Each structure stands twice: as structure tokens, then as C-alpha cells.
A and B are shown apart, each in its own frame.
Chain A
């Protein structure tokens, strides 16, 4: 009955009021195959409802019964709107225009640099045909970031984001590299490690070691003195030079054969948050439902709503994991250890050194 009434509410119905002979009227309508509902009989009078289609079909008969009819339903409301066609279209157009205009970017603001660099950024945008007003996607913003970072080479950090109808370009300038100022004070070069010298290049100062010498940590390699050729006097000078030497590192590492590995159990639980301007409110689900888990986040943007209100949904999923003890075979352990040892060796050596030879001896512990 509710569906039936709802259909007639949309398609339209007519309320007919009559003073007398309700039974007779109902029977006449029944014979004409007109469906009647909500028949009311009280002191105020008699009322009933028929569909608008039936009313149109049998309008002469209804007029004979009574003229007091009131038309109701959505169709009549819409018909009334027809007379305000211009207003409706205007309202719709203004809503669309407002939406389109607010979704565009009208202004660019550069934060974190001086006016000269700001002008450079503006010029770069212009050269790359990025003119305001514009509609920019996330990819476009990333492209602008890359463009400013690579083309200008002035900034160590560039971030581009939208705030309302403004495009904010946030930059951090590169700091000027400090030049090494050599002091004029007399100095000597000493060995930092135990090594066998195999090449000596002394630019300034007197070398006191030669190829094949064994030197120890703290031993002087180049002394900060030079002899004046004409006066044969010894002068103290700042030393400068490069001494190459071979050194050896011996160290031990252990690799456990039994390792703890996190294994997914295929169970997961999700928590939903409502996000607005960085603040999130939990809606559904429990936080950290498992003891061991892998956590992933996914931001859900609602079309139009997220753009207008900056409200987004955050789906956080917890994937349950079990910690299992896994025994690895000897070859795998050896390979892993080789990599770890080589990394450790590189860590111990200085940046300008080179590994000439490396050997690994391994043995298995009985326990």
C-alpha cells in the first residue's frame, strides 16, 4: 500500500470532496473501473482520492459528481516549476559556474625564497605554459615540483600544494657550499692506520716514508719543512700530499641458522577514519586488533564532497602476522654473511679507498 501511495504521489492524484451520496458515488466509480482510496466520511464531509490519470480520463463524470477537486503530487509541483524555467536554469548554471570557478587555481604564491627567485619560478611556469587560472591534478603538481627542482637548481626542497584557490610553492634554498680555506700554519701529515706504503705524492713538505715502508697509526708521513735552495735554510710549511697504503682488516661475524620470520595469516581487519585538515576521527573498527601485524593505509576521496569540504576517509587495514622460526640452509647463511661482511668492510674503509682483495673463511658452530 505504501508503494502504491508513493507511486501516486509521484504520478499525481486528485482529492475529491462531496457532500452526500458517497456510497452511490463509490459504486459509479467502481463500475467505471476507477480505483479509489483513503475514503473518509465524517461531519466535515466526504473525501476520497483517485489517480490523476483516471481524473483526466473521466473528467466529465467527476465534474458531474463535484467540482471541488484539489490536485496533489510531485507532477503538479514540477508543472509549477515549468513557469519558473528561467530561474531554475539560472540557478543550475550558477551552481555549476560556482563549482567550476572554485575548483580552479587563480593565484600562485611562492613561500621560502626572495623576490628574484620568485620571479624566476614565475617565468619558468610561464615558459612551460602553466598559466592561471588552471585546474591542476596531483600529477601536474608533481611535474611542477620536478620542473622547479631540476630546471632552476636553486632549491634543495620543493613542495607544491593547493590551498583553496591558491597554488602554494614551498621552497627551501640550497645553502652555499663552504670552500675549504687552507691555513698557512706549518703542519705534518700522519698515518691514520697501520699500513704498507705503496705510493707517495707530496705536494708540499718533506716525505719521510717511501714505497714498501710499514707505517703505524700516528707515524709522520710528510713533515712540514722545506729547504730553501739558495740559503739552505729549513722552513716550516703546511704539508700537502697523498700517500697510498695497503691495510688489512680482520673481523668475525656470526649468522644465525634459525631466524624469526613474519608470516601472514590471511586475516585482516579494517578501521575507518574521517579525515579533515589532518585531524582524523575513528568511525568503525578497533585499533591494533592483532599482536603482530602489517599496517597499510588507503585514503578514499569522495567525489565533489572531498574537493569542496576537504573531508576524506582513511581506510587502515591491519594484516595479521605470525612469527615463525625458520631454519636456513648453510649456503643461504653463507651468502647472507658474505654480503654483510662486505658491507661491514666498506663501512670500515674510508670513502676514497678501494678493496683490492677479500677472503672469507667460515665454520659452523656445533651448538
Chain B
């Protein structure tokens, strides 16, 4: 519907936005919280799925109600539909 009306997708849906800066930084917007935070794995819960980021030297740079910024060496991102 958003495409039909030519308006941004996130204006009408609750889906998350994921942005990556190379393999060093990932920004996830519209999340529901962090479920696992370890040095080599970070799992972020979203409205309809779970995002698992695998790699090493992870650090949560910022987390608030709207977005989460994870920095580190990213090797893999897995999306699990709930």
C-alpha cells in the first residue's frame, strides 16, 4: 500500500529497518529489545522476527526505544521468522 501511495514504507508498517556500514557497524531501527548480547553474538528482537548478528568484538554503541547500533566484526546476519 505504501508503494502504491508512494510514501515511505515505515510510515505504514511496523517492520524493522536495517542499515549496515560495511561489516563493522549495523543499525537496526524499530526494534523491540536485545535478547542476547555477548562478545561474538547479538540478538535483536523485532516485530515479526529475530535478528541474530554473528561475528566478534561486538559492542552496543547506542540503544534506545527507537534504534540499536552494534559495532564489531560482523560475519553473519540471520533472520528468524517467529
Contact = CB atoms under 8 A, between A and B. Distances in A.
| Pairing of A with B | yes
28 contacts: A23-B36, A26-B33, A26-B37, A26-B60, A26-B63, A27-B33, A27-B34, A30-B33, A30-B64, A30-B65, A31-B33, A33-B64, A33-B65, A34-B64, A35-B62, A35-B63, A36-B60, A36-B64, A37-B62, A38-B59, A38-B61, A39-B37, A39-B59, A39-B61, A41-B37, A41-B39, A42-B39, A48-B60
Contacts of A41: 37-39
Interface in A1-54: 1, 22-23, 26-27, 29-31, 33-42, 48
In order of increasing CB-CB distance, the 10 nearest A-B pairs are A39-B60, A27-B33, A35-B64, A37-B62, A36-B63, A33-B65, A23-B34, A26-B34, A23-B37, A30-B65
B39 to A, nearest CB: 7
Given A23-B36, A26-B63, 12 more contacts: A23-B33, A26-B33, A27-B33, A35-B62, A36-B63, A37-B62, A38-B59, A39-B37, A39-B60, A40-B59, A41-B39, A42-B39
B30 to A, nearest CB: 12
A170 to B, nearest CB: 69
A65 B20 CA distance: 32
A39 B39 CA distance: 11
Interface string B52-77: 00000001111111000000000000
Interface in A189-244: none
Contacts of B35: 23
Interface residues of A, number: 19
Contacts of A40: 59
Per DSSP, are chain A's interface residues mostly helix, strand or loop, or mixed? mixed
Contacts of A48: 60
Contacts of A30: 33, 63-65
A39 B65 CA distance: 15
Contacts of B65: 30-31, 33
Contacts of A36: 60, 62-64
A29 B62 CA distance: 12
A62 to B, nearest CB: 16
Contacts of A33: 64-65
A23 B35 CA distance: 6
A138 to B, nearest CB: 58
A29 B37 CA distance: 15
Contacts of B63: 26, 29-30, 35-37, 39
B37 to A, nearest CB: 5
Contacts of B64: 30, 33-36
A108 to B, nearest CB: 67
Nearest to B62: A37
Contacts of B60: 26, 36, 39, 48
A37 B35 CA distance: 17
A2 to B, nearest CB: 12
Interface string B17-44: 0000000000000000111111100000
A17 to B, nearest CB: 15
B3 to A, nearest CB: 30
B81 to A, nearest CB: 21
Nearest to A37: B62
A122 to B, nearest CB: 73
Contacts of A1: 61-62
Contacts of A23: 33-37
A41 B64 CA distance: 18
A37 B33 contact: no
A23 B33 CA distance: 8
Contacts of B33: 23, 26-27, 30-31
A189 to B, nearest CB: 108
